[in-house]
Structure 1
């Protein structure tokens, strides 16, 4: 028994004059349940384009006809035009729905002149992100030749360092250099008396400074490499001041770091310990040179940090506290949203390009200072130095070491927790947080 005859599909649109009566009759014929029907070569009316400025829909070359049926209804297949497949990323079913909307006659079986293409699933990601991911995956990976070049570069630096050590040791063996070391041993006695030792507040300030500096460097590097932020922060009542959550975190850390620095300087002045890091004699320069030569020769100067820093340490601490830190603050303030927008003359006198050119090198200075500082702490009496900084005692015990370990655990925990899931609730206290 044959299947029920399908109702003819009315065409609400005017039919082209060239269409024959036989063609209309053929449209109204029942669809047979056969998997081997040949397509009917009847053109389908092309409507408006799917996208502004695009070609009319359906594509040129689409034909209507009778095709296989599954027994449950009419099967519809879109027709692919001759040539390369479309790269618009639309699923086949979406194209079929659009084809049916373009003309009710497309409810008939539509077959393709080319083999059907596998459906392309829409993954819900913006095309620009797809292109970015593809470009990132297409980046060339380091080759073994580049690895060998890195090894050779490291070996060359090692050879240069060894040559520098040998050269300085040879230089210091001459009589005139021995006289120089005797006259300038690497430190001088300050004309202003200062109480020896470190108060407990020095240890706390040192910990807070390290804690904030590590997170500032981490967030600063993140700001430089973050292309498309996912979370934003804006001050209440000023949606135009919206910045990325990472930048907000970086600036908030900067403010805390500055507050900690102001407290440190005030306590230095009140207690008189500013003499330890501020040069009080021109002898600091030849003594600093002497200390540097002794460090390079690995015949290091006498360490007596509990009472007095050597001249090289004093200059390094002075430059860090009173030069590098203010420059970091000034350049960061110039690049931040706190800078007054209406101060045109001030902005012209201090261009933002200058701040950008200085801010990153200053961060590199802090990184180099931290590396050298930690290395010398380890190499010049590890336990005693840690006791100076974390236990406020001049002894070779493990107390300062364990306090130092606890501080590292706290810093590592803050490093891991510095992500939007943790930062967003904190940022909401001070403003509005959004995802766009």
Structure 2
């Protein structure tokens, strides 16, 4: 039975329902003109081939006419869908999302290349810049309030009787073994600088690899040209090798010279003393310490964790994600899935970033000149006031920052491509 007479005989509510049904049928048949014609004639839907009939001669107006179902113009038997008069309040269903995800690449590129209209609001993710700034301001106020609460609570704990007794019993550090060396040698200063240098570039390239979608160049080893990685990933892995080599030399010299006793706990008193140091830091009445002789227990635990926990985790997870790992070792891959490595590698990088921020802030806030002389100039004394006005360490530290900034700027394809070609083949876009 034809659709048109039925629509005309419906009531107001039924007319709206019939129009919706007719529009749905028209949209479904839009991709198949033959099916649309068959439905209009009231017959069964054909199997994809239009019924035979007279064909218009080429070049005639009838031959050039585009069917309504293909041109997108609503036909007389399918009324146009009325426009929405209220904002959409629901998200599309799963089918709509999957259809959008599998849309043509050309359409996505055109949408991405279309510049925003003048005066249009450019959103950052799902939020506008004003909303982002407002949210940042609100979070900043809450963070300051939280810091204030922590400071007041720490001062209250250290002011009461049990807090004072705990502070007297555990001042924040414990004596080192009698054989522990005093002072920081020059090799440790150099290793500290190289560790900072490599780690800065490793974090930069790791973040670049994580966010890069269209690498500017690719590197392949000469022995296996089918294996291809991005130039940023090659630089990241090359820095990893240098960082690991520096770390191996550092750990070996630590145990050869006895410096390990300064960062490896040698007594269970390290834990209550670390809590005491944390309370003193939180109360803003920071513990008096002289890193030339001994670190406080919180420093010792932090340096131990960064050297013997975080660094090995970064290495083991990085090796699993690299091309060094055997791809065909099924049993080994089941024991150590690549998903575990991904879940460990990125949080470890975040731990390094947090450690660097806190470490640098405390170095500068607890006697910058004295601490920089210890770390960069190998100059110090058992007297904590010595070298507290000597600028030597500060000048060396400033020079190291210049070197790091120059390496950061130079880490681009124009500089990296000639270096990468020494170790393999490079192809640029």
TM-score w.r.t. length of structure 2? 0.72
**Separation in 1 of the partners of 2:218 and 2:315?**
23
Q: Which residue of the other structure, out of 350, 356, 378, is the alignment partner of 2:364?
A: 378
**Separation in 2 of the partners of 1:154 and 1:330?**
36
Structure 2 counterparts to residues 153-168 of structure 1, below 5 A: 153-168=139-154
**Separation in 2 of the partners of 1:359 and 1:209?**
18
Structure index of larger Rg: 1
Q: Which residue of the other structure, out of 411, 421, 425, is the alignment partner of 1:432?
A: 425
Q: Which residue of the other structure, out of 160, 169, 175, is the alignment partner of 2:161?
A: 175
Distance 1:203 1:324, change over 3 A: same
2:177–2:261 CA contact under 8 A, matched in 1 = no
How many corresponding residue pairs? 324
1:192–1:275 CA contact under 8 A, matched in 2 = no
Secondary structure of the corresponding residue to residue 161 of structure 1: helix
Q: Which residue of the other structure, out of 187, 198, 202, is the alignment partner of 2:188?
A: 202
Corresponding residue for residue 28 of structure 1: none
CA root-mean-square deviation: 2.4
Aligned-residue offset at 1:273: 0.4
User: Is residue 412 from structure 1 mapped to residue 399 from structure 2 by the alignment?
Assistant: no
1:185–1:287 CA contact under 8 A, matched in 2 = yes
Secondary structure of the corresponding residue to residue 434 of structure 1: strand
**Separation in 2 of the partners of 1:210 and 1:136?**
42
1:284–1:311 CA contact under 8 A, matched in 2 = yes
- Give the helix-richer structure, 1 or 2: 2
User: Is residue 301 from structure 1 mapped to residue 287 from structure 2 by the alignment?
Assistant: yes
Secondary structure of the corresponding residue to residue 426 of structure 2: strand
1:303–1:380 CA contact under 8 A, matched in 2 = no
Structure 2 counterparts to residues 40-79 of structure 1, below 5 A: 44=59, 60=64
Q: Which residue of the other structure, out of 175, 181, 189, is the alignment partner of 1:189?
A: 175
TM-score w.r.t. length of structure 1? 0.70
Q: Detail structure 1 runs of 4+ shifted over 3 Å in the superposition.
A: 42-45, 59-62, 125-139
Which 5+ residue runs of structure 1 have no aligned equivalent?
A: 1-41, 46-58, 63-81, 85-124
User: Is residue 147 from structure 1 mapped to residue 133 from structure 2 by the alignment?
Assistant: yes
Which 5+ residue runs of structure 2 have no aligned equivalent?
A: 1-56, 73-104, 381-386
**Separation in 1 of the partners of 2:392 and 2:160?**
43
Greater relative contact order: 1 or 2 (C-alpha under 8 angstroms, separation 6 or more)?
A: 2
**Separation in 2 of the partners of 1:206 and 1:169?**
34
**Separation in 2 of the partners of 1:359 and 1:155?**
32
Corresponding residue for residue 113 of structure 2: 133
Aligned-residue offset at 1:177: 1.0
